[in-house]
Structure 1
Amino acid sequence: MFPNHMPNPEDKTAMALSRAAVLENSADLGIVFDTDVDRSGVVGKEGNPINGDRLIALMSAIVFREHPGTTIVTDARTSMGLTRFITDRGGQHCLYRVGYRNVIDKGVQLNKDDIESHLMMETSRHGALKENYFIDDGAYMVVKIIIEMVRMKLDESEEGIGSLIKDLEELLESVELRMKIISEPRSAKARGIEVIETL
């Protein structure tokens, strides 16, 4: 295993260790990247993980400062709370099919069709910005978050970066289930029953 945890912002252990480090060191921000740094997850100074819908909401709030009214493209797994968060700030929310390439390509197409879209992001933490040539880049996203955090400090705000999403309505629990599909018909029924019983 990577020095302390799996390099994966969706890994619960990685996020828990980042949270513990933030709280132990009174840090302003914790960051978790995946192995090729195209995905990122962050932890606010209060120790709250900012991932999934939260990370999309945070990036939307940052993008709206520079591009009010822009269209935010996300995968269809996002919540209605995120849609309200985006539209309450004057933006448009384009829900598109799952797959970070699909989401990014949709943003590129919208821009070609003269529909301004500056952020394309998936709940998996893959995201791209128009200003960064639509590149799937977790490090660039984190730099944008750090710049916003510094701006807040220069404005003498005592609040952490998480304050930008404090009014995001969230589901009580959201879990993505991934099940292995078996191609052999003889064992498919037994395997299906086994999977259902584990739920």
Structure 2
Amino acid sequence: MARLFGTDGVRGVANQDLTAELALDLSVAAAHVLGEAGAFGHRQPTALVARDPRASGEFLEAAVCAGLASAGVDVIRVGVIPTPAAAYLVNEFRTDLGVMLSASHNPMPDNGIKFFQRGGVKLADDLEDAIEQRMGEPWQRPTGEKVGRIQYSADAVKTYIDHLVRSLRQEQALKGLTIVLDTANGASFHTAPTAFRAQGAEVIAIHDEPNGININDGAGSTHPEKLQAAVLANHADLGFAFDGDADRCLAVDHEGNLVDGDQILAILALALQEDHRLASNTVVATIMSNLGLTLAMREHEIHVDQTKVGDRYVLESMNANGFSLGGEQSGHVIMSEFATTGDGVLTGLHVAARVARTGKSLQELASVMTRLPQALINVRGVDKLRAGMDPEVNKAVADANQTLGDTGRVVLRPSGTEPLVRVMVEAATQDEADSICQRLAGIVKDRLAI
């Protein structure tokens, strides 16, 4: 049986793969594994439950709250907020666990369930396994006053926004900047514009009217061309695009050029190094980060620690070693001084503050690294569980790596959140990267076909 949890919680098509029954059962199991009574002196365990604006989040939220309360957990509902806001509030409200209902950048029919343990930290693999094993086991149901209660917190959003604003350590840090924000009709539709305006920026918000159906629909970080056009049309200084739950951020400079997560990491690394706040002079990135990041950081005597793909693995390295900055090319950026997970709005605020503080354009700041030509193909309709096991695929990858030598590399990996295999190639030229990537993707499609 395939593992229920992927690299970022449990995801699937809402009401087909991810049903109300599954959400309820997962919540009961999580309550038993994570919610030992009295951890913070509560009458009984407490949980924070949040969601993004997807329509399916409404019935899933009801199922999660019902499951937790039936297991004797008091529930604090905080409504529609970003995933990093939920993580922050789990710690701020001192709850025993947290639940975020979101499928992040995935299309609207999908949804997902992410759990946080005390302190707002994502779960390690062993805790997720324990929750899976606990599902369906008999348990003693509380009755009477031991049944959990459900309440709504009206202060949660303001608490999080205040935290974002304070993180810049000065008032009006963005004064004089005109910034376009694409909130993907997602969870940051209110928090992002409010936080940027509170710091003095002139904000032009697009895709900021969620209706439960339009999340990520031709908007946000998966469709940065909309932000690029808006920055140019409004003669803005820069812009930021978030995904549906705002745990990732991509940027656009004043000429409409995309600035990806690797470039953002480089910008923030140098800013932290300058302020003597880059712990161990190290940045954590994944194997999918562009080689250009490593080369740029080497020039500034900054070490790049590489992990498996997934912000949870970046976090594991950061927590284990006390590092202060890490992230992914996709725009998940973690600043551990202020957050326990990737926070797109926080990232955008600090990049914009760097622009304002230095007087340099985002384009100039991003030029600290040169991206090697890269090609990425998502191969669908294949058995992703056999990726890395097929001898012909393995040989093709090894041969390609030998051909590229020190001028590039191949990364082939199954997606942790979608039914596909990712083939990524970096090379000295774009033509070479495209050619090798297309050839390898064809082999993967032939050999791993379902």
User: Could you tell me the TM-score, scaled by structure 1's length?
Assistant: 0.77
The structure showing larger relative contact order (alpha-carbon pairs under 8 Å, at least 6 residues apart) is 1
Q: Distance in 2 between matches of 1:176 and 1:60?
A: 29
Residue 174 of structure 2 is aligned to residue 174 of structure 1: no
Q: Distance in 2 between matches of 1:167 and 1:82?
A: 9
Pair 1:194–1:106, CA change in 2 (3 A): closer
More strand by share: 2
Given that 1:70 and 1:91 are in contact with CA atoms closer than 8 Å, whether structure 2 keeps it comes out as yes
Which stretch shifts more, 172-181 or 73-82?
172-181
State the shift of 1:176 in Å. 4.7
- Tell me the secondary structure at the aligned position of residue 95 of structure 1: strand
Partner AA of 1:93 in structure 2: V
Given candidates 276, 280, 291, the residue that maps to 1:80 is 291
Residue 351 of structure 2 is aligned to residue 148 of structure 1: no
What is the match of residue 162 of structure 1? 363
Q: Distance in 1 between matches of 2:370 and 2:252?
A: 18
Given that 1:62 and 1:145 are in contact with CA atoms closer than 8 Å, whether structure 2 keeps it comes out as no
Q: Distance in 2 between matches of 1:27 and 1:38?
A: 23
State the shift of 1:180 in Å. 4.2
Please list every run of 5 or more consecutive structure 1 residues that lacks an aligned counterpart in the other structure.
Answer: 112-116, 154-158, 186-191
- Tell me the secondary structure at the aligned position of residue 134 of structure 1: coil
- Tell me the secondary structure at the aligned position of residue 177 of structure 1: strand
Given candidates 1, 5, 18, the residue that maps to 2:227 is 18
Which stretch shifts more, 54-63 or 126-135?
54-63
- Tell me the secondary structure at the aligned position of residue 22 of structure 1: helix
Q: Distance in 1 between matches of 2:381 and 2:220?
A: 21
Given candidates 333, 343, 348, the residue that maps to 1:127 is 333
Q: Distance in 1 between matches of 2:311 and 2:355?
A: 26
Pair 1:180–1:55, CA change in 2 (3 A): farther
Please list every run of 5 or more consecutive structure 2 residues that lacks an aligned counterpart in the other structure.
Answer: 1-107, 109-184, 186-206, 208-213, 387-441
Given candidates 177, 184, 195, the residue that maps to 2:445 is 195
Given that 1:60 and 1:72 are in contact with CA atoms closer than 8 Å, whether structure 2 keeps it comes out as yes
What is the match of residue 307 of structure 2? 96
Pair 1:182–1:91, CA change in 2 (3 A): closer
Which stretch shifts more, 165-174 or 123-132?
165-174
Which stretch shifts more, 159-168 or 32-41?
159-168
Q: Distance in 1 between matches of 2:287 and 2:444?
A: 28
User: Could you tell me the TM-score, scaled by structure 2's length?
Assistant: 0.36
Q: Distance in 1 between matches of 2:381 and 2:375?
A: 20
State the shift of 1:127 in Å. 1.6
Residue 250 of structure 2 is aligned to residue 32 of structure 1: no
Q: Distance in 2 between matches of 1:193 and 1:106?
A: 33
Pair 1:148–1:124, CA change in 2 (3 A): same
Given that 1:33 and 1:138 are in contact with CA atoms closer than 8 Å, whether structure 2 keeps it comes out as yes
State the shift of 1:165 in Å. 2.5
Sequence identity, in percent? 25
Q: Tell me the matched-pair count.
A: 177
CA RMSD of aligned residues (A): 2.7
Q: Distance in 1 between matches of 2:229 and 2:296?
A: 28
Pair 1:167–1:137, CA change in 2 (3 A): closer
Given that 1:19 and 1:48 are in contact with CA atoms closer than 8 Å, whether structure 2 keeps it comes out as yes
Partner AA of 2:375 in structure 1: S
Q: Distance in 2 between matches of 1:164 and 1:131?
A: 22
Pair 1:27–1:196, CA change in 2 (3 A): farther
Which portions of structure 1, spanning 4 or more consecutive aligned residues, are displaced by more than 4 angstroms? 1-5
Q: Distance in 2 between matches of 1:174 and 1:61?
A: 27
Pair 1:164–1:193, CA change in 2 (3 A): closer
Deviations 1:162-190 (A, max 9, x none): 2112141212233252534338x9xxxxx
Q: Distance in 2 between matches of 1:167 and 1:137?
A: 23
Q: Distance in 2 between matches of 1:35 and 1:128?
A: 17
Q: Which has the larger radius of gyration?
A: 2
What is the match of residue 49 of structure 1? 258
Partner AA of 1:44 in structure 2: D
- Tell me the secondary structure at the aligned position of residue 85 of structure 1: helix
What is the match of residue 106 of structure 1? 317
Deviations 1:31-74 (A, max 9, x none): 11111111111101121100142222223233222235621000
